[in-house]
Structure 1
Amino acid sequence: MNRVLVTGADGSIGRAAVSGLQAAGYDVAGLSLRYDHASTANRALVGDARSATDVSAALDGVDAVLHLAAIPHPSLGTPEEVFENNVAATFNVLAQAGQQEVRRAVIASSINAFGVPMNVNDVEPAYYPLDEEVEADIADAYSLSKSVDEQSARMAWRRWGTDVIALRFPLVKAREELLRFAAMAERDPSIMAREGWAYLDLRDGVRAIIAALESPVPGAHVVGLAADDILIDRQTDELLRKYAPDVPLRQAVEGRGSLVDTSRARELLGFAPEHSIHDQAVSAMTR
């Protein structure tokens, strides 16, 4: 496997994934509705992930597909637009890949697939650390679209035998952007409490993508991701006592320990995060 199609190739994760895959020796075709940034893809294609014609042409000659194209937040369209775009794009990409006998796909799911972080109601997670089986409570179109995408992955495996990894990304940004988000969350920690103040350095996001593409594990799997610590520079148990005192804690968390269970990523993909915003922040201040 050395030829990969990346949809959403002009997004922030898409651009990093294209570069990371090329650095790892892959030939990369990129597909995007438009390109607002210069693309390094070996083939930079303009097209719609919802179009059978566009995706079928883009898949020509590839061995695997990384599907990132989506409306990434419920505020970026009407509920109908967000849900219809995301679900149609994911299903179309998986269907075209299956029909062309592309046997490996990685799709971008989200920590929001269980619905609680963006829920308009006064709800909390069933427990911490969050895992892939946590009870869902969905009240927005984006979270619903990601939950359906995970079902589409299972269908693609059953129908076409395509092995699919759905990566549940938390907040994924480059270090500088993570620092800005951390500053906002410090001012009001409650805004990220329902997602456990989870984040992932963009470099680790790309590493997780490559690990998923290269994993020999068959079937369709949902895999949660996060850094090994939380975004805010506080003790995790302190934050839980103040902002989630009624949420059961299934296992002890020390220091700034993460509230996302990433054991499946370690077991299925052999992936563990390497970067911490806190290590980077310390090194930046000492330079």
Structure 2
Amino acid sequence: MTNGPAGSAAGPRLPLPRRVLVTGADGKIGRAVVDALSDLGVRTTALSTAWTSPSRADRIVTGDATAEDDVADALAGADAVVHLAAIPHRDLGRPYEVYRTNTGATFNVLAQAATAGHVRRAVIASSINAFGVPMNHHAVATAYYPIDEDVPAEIDDWYSLSKYSDELTARMVASHWGLPVIALRYPHVDTWRQLRAHAERVGRAPGTPQLVREGWSYLDLRDAVDVALAALTAPVSGALVVGVSARDTLVDADSGELLDTYAPGVPRRRAITGRTSLIDTTRARTALGFTARYSIHVAADDPDPAPTTAGVTP
């Protein structure tokens, strides 16, 4: 399956929304998105089933993204949505619970946003697992590197299926109701220090099949927020699936050499040199104006030297 009908990008950036509904607002990315929007002076409605600490959102809705009444309440006054509510892993619930929760929440939020009449943009969290290969329990390989949004899918688990289904829901909503929806295929996301610790573990077993199949990809939490903000203001129509990652890999090694060792028979669609990412982020750059800034191989408080291209200003 290809990710069409593809969205398109043309023209100047959109202004920041006046109010954004953030679902999953008590989660790691959700809290960071609420904080970033608040710093920009954007009003936020935060929806979550529970709260571990106070939120900076100016409107709090304690509710379930799968519940029609809760979402209808939370959408009041919002002109954009960042939908992050989900069970974020295959092993965090029973198969039916994971699939039903994730797909039900996405359909509910997007369908209600599209029919509300005042929402002009939705951004949803998809996953690198949406193409199914990373968690596949069979001896399958990624079709090629760098991994792009059209890489062939081999769905083998309910979480990956839920994210694949969410992307189809985005296409349906954009086609039927005309609401632009951007689905971000996030890789492993965490704070710089947590990613460093994760990278140390990865370095002890870099040949773990899931790591190889997802190209040892990751994204600093700050970049995960920035790409969501960029998606809110990018001049995109239709539905668009966007792969994102840091500009390098978790492993402190040459990326081509990693593939030589752990994926020697997998085709490469372009020359891979240095420590470059094995995720093709062309669409993030061209459609959203986003390039990841942060690397775990650079000091925690210093971004990788390339300036941000997100173009989001107060």
Q: Indicate whether the TM-score tops 0.5.
A: yes
Letter in 2 for 1:53: D
Instruction: Report sequence identity in percent.
Output: 55
- Equivalent of residue 131 in structure 2, options 114, 129, 148: 114
CA offset digits 1:84-122 (Å, max 9, x no partner) = 100000000001101102121000000000000011111
Number of matched pairs: 283
2:214 equivalent to 1:195:
yes
2:58 equivalent to 1:25:
no
**Structure 2 matches for 1:230-269, cutoff 5 A?**
230-269=249-288
Q: Is the 2:193–2:300 contact (alpha carbons within 8 Å) kept by the matching residues of 1?
A: no
- Equivalent of residue 273 in structure 1, options 282, 286, 292: 292
Q: Is the 1:103–1:161 contact (alpha carbons within 8 Å) kept by the matching residues of 2?
A: no
Q: Is the 1:2–1:63 contact (alpha carbons within 8 Å) kept by the matching residues of 2?
A: yes
User: Which residue is equivalent to 1:168?
Assistant: 185
**Structure 2 matches for 1:73-112, cutoff 5 A?**
73-101=89-117, 102-112=119-129
2:142 equivalent to 1:125:
yes
SS of 2:259's partner is: helix
CA offset digits 1:144-175 (Å, max 9, x no partner) = 00000000001111121110000000011110
Runs of 4+ in 1 over 6 A off after TM superposition: none
Letter in 1 for 2:85: A
Tell me how far apart the structure 1 counterparts of residues 267 and 296 of structure 2 sit (CA, whole Å): 26
- Equivalent of residue 221 in structure 1, options 209, 234, 240: 240
CA offset digits 1:1-38 (Å, max 9, x no partner) = 22100000000010111101111221011000000122
- Equivalent of residue 59 in structure 1, options 55, 75, 90: 75
CA offset digits 1:171-221 (Å, max 9, x no partner) = 111101101110110000022111000011110110000000111211110
Letter in 2 for 1:99: T
User: Which residue is equivalent to 2:173?
Assistant: 156
Letter in 2 for 1:263: T
| Cα offset, 1:259, TM superposition | 0.3
Against the structure 1 CA distance between its residues 281 and 46, is the aligned structure 2 distance closer, same or farther, given a 3 Å change threshold? closer
Tell me how far apart the structure 2 counterparts of residues 232 and 183 of structure 1 sit (CA, whole Å): 8
CA offset digits 1:111-150 (Å, max 9, x no partner) = 0000000111111100000000000001000000000000
SS of 1:156's partner is: helix
Tell me how far apart the structure 1 counterparts of residues 256 and 247 of structure 2 sit (CA, whole Å): 15
Tell me how far apart the structure 1 counterparts of residues 298 and 161 of structure 2 sit (CA, whole Å): 35
| Cα offset, 1:281, TM superposition | 6.0
SS of 1:61's partner is: coil
- Equivalent of residue 69 in structure 1, options 73, 76, 85: 85
User: Which residue is equivalent to 2:13?
Assistant: none
| Cα offset, 1:280, TM superposition | 2.2
User: Which residue is equivalent to 2:10?
Assistant: none
| Cα offset, 1:282, TM superposition | 10
Tell me how far apart the structure 1 counterparts of residues 120 and 239 of structure 2 sit (CA, whole Å): 11
Tell me how far apart the structure 1 counterparts of residues 24 and 84 of structure 2 sit (CA, whole Å): 5
**Aligned Cα root-mean-square deviation (Å):** 1.1
- Equivalent of residue 206 in structure 1, options 193, 201, 225: 225
SS of 1:279's partner is: coil
Tell me: higher relative CO, structure 1 or 2? Use CA pairs within 8 A at least 6 residues apart.
2
SS of 2:110's partner is: helix
Letter in 1 for 2:290: F
Q: Name the structure where helix makes up a greater proportion of residues.
A: 1
TM-score (ref. length: structure 1): 0.97
Tell me how far apart the structure 2 counterparts of residues 116 and 37 of structure 1 sit (CA, whole Å): 36
Tell me how far apart the structure 2 counterparts of residues 246 and 55 of structure 1 sit (CA, whole Å): 47
